[in-house]
Structure 1
């Protein structure tokens, strides 16, 4: 989506605020003993009371309102009977539609007590995302995002999952530009036009480089770290403007 009017911008800001507030509330609500299904139903209620429709169900028939992934699961986890325990790493991905416009956000939350390494991974996951966001602006190269995040990861001795990319969003949950790498790619020559709307969502890890399905033992949705290693994802929906990035998925 490219923002072409004040109405577009207002609607995007509204759904961005809704998904951001939902994500923040879900993260605060996490406690040992609750199931991922209970957490998902809490999020569903928040979205629906705000007049928003959960995007995973709407677009893909996903069996839940939000993606909730725990530990070895790193994306598209199906909410259900799994109980969250102390020491877990829980990723929540919230996307929704209102008035024909979609926004997408996500974050990883550690459930205390956790090791210093996990605390640092969560802190640096956010730093990696913001390192990429700072590269956004009208007429700048899309590849600058992945190059900056890649340099951050190398400097701090992390790996990046290289088959889960950022993407355009707005009039659909996934749209052009597709496959925006959050790792270094030299061949991408695309330029951000003014008003372009897309996500920035690096997957920073203590060793994983790929996401894979669960094979015959898995479901049709959940992706796992490969090789198995603690992995975090942080995500914002952002607009490229002449003044730089405009983040629309901040709570408020």
Structure 2
């Protein structure tokens, strides 16, 4: 069942989203060669808790990190630890924060030092595809209108959209209905309604679309070892469009 949110609930989610956005900003200042993913995790947890929120991911189904930190060929759910970042790497950081019982969820892929032109294009296209999808989001349109816009933009650049992991509703639960694929034909799925709150999060590979999970049962990597990127915002559907909740409004 898709749960629509009342304006007062969206107000709380707006604050949760702002905390997530500010956590991203705090981490971005520390992303450089030589830092570990575990150090970034500690910075994020301290900041989230300092804002009166809790990390959504910590303890979620046994996950040990406060953020997901996925490097290079790691797509999602990377466990923060001793891995050192090097010049030319990219790191996808997924952050969730629970504030007054509601979650905000946003991911961004960051360059570490100087990255290759192909990798820069990957980041640009994946971020652009997120906004191409969001441009379709408003009350009355079909869910897969978002999906199709994302896939079309990614594949026009000869990159691949991951199928196994999808966007989702978000609110009092980190993952709610509906599931939101980032591929497929337009005009399918439920029609969007004002008050729906959704996490749209295209995941894109340079190479083939196929992924697998490592033996830690969390980290998802590209099968062919190619670079991959992940961009995500939490949005609220409005009468005439959408509002991004995971931004720093001040």
TM-score range, shorter chain: over 0.9
Q: Distance in 1 between matches of 2:84 and 2:189?
A: 45
Contact 2:145–2:186 under 8 Å retained in 1: no
Could you tell me how far apart the structure 1 residues matched to 2:88 and 2:235 are? 31
Q: CA deviation at 1:24?
A: 2.0
Q: Which runs of 5+ in 1 are unaligned?
A: none
Q: TM-score, normalised by structure 2?
A: 0.95
RMSD of aligned Cα (Å): 1.4
Equivalent residue number for residue 249 of structure 1: 246
CA offsets 1:90-140 (integer angstroms, 9 cap, x no match): 000001111010110000011122111111111111101000111101111
Distance in 2 of aligned mates of 1:59 and 1:98: 16
Q: Matched residue of 1:56: which SS?
A: coil
SS at 2:29 equivalent? helix
Q: CA deviation at 1:186?
A: 6.1
How far does the alpha carbon of each residue in 1:205-249 deviate from its partner, in whole angstroms, 9 at most, with x for none? 2113133101xxx21211111232111110000111111011100
What stretches of structure 2 of length at least 5 have no aligned partner?
none
Moved more, 184-193 or 203-212: 184-193
1:236 equivalent among 233, 237, 242:
233
Equivalent residue, structure 2, for 1:177: 178
Is the 8 Å Cα contact of residues 205 and 230 (structure 1) preserved in structure 2?
yes
Q: CA deviation at 1:86?
A: 0.7
Q: Does 1:72 align with 2:69?
A: no
Aligned length: 247
Structure 2 CA distance, aligned partners of 1:223 and 1:48? 27
Alignment of 1:200-219 (within 5 A): 200-214=200-214, 218-219=215-216
1:28 to partner: Cα distance: 2.3
**Counterparts of 1:210 and 1:21, CA distance in 2:** 32
Task: Please state how far the C-alpha of 1:164 moved relative to its aligned partner.
Answer: 0.9
What is residue 44 of structure 1 aligned with on the other side? 45
Specify the SS of the correspondent of 1:85: coil
Query: CA–CA distance in 2 between the matches of 1:195 and 1:9?
Result: 8
Distance 2:132 2:173 in 1: 26
TM-score, normalized by length of structure 1? Answer: 0.94
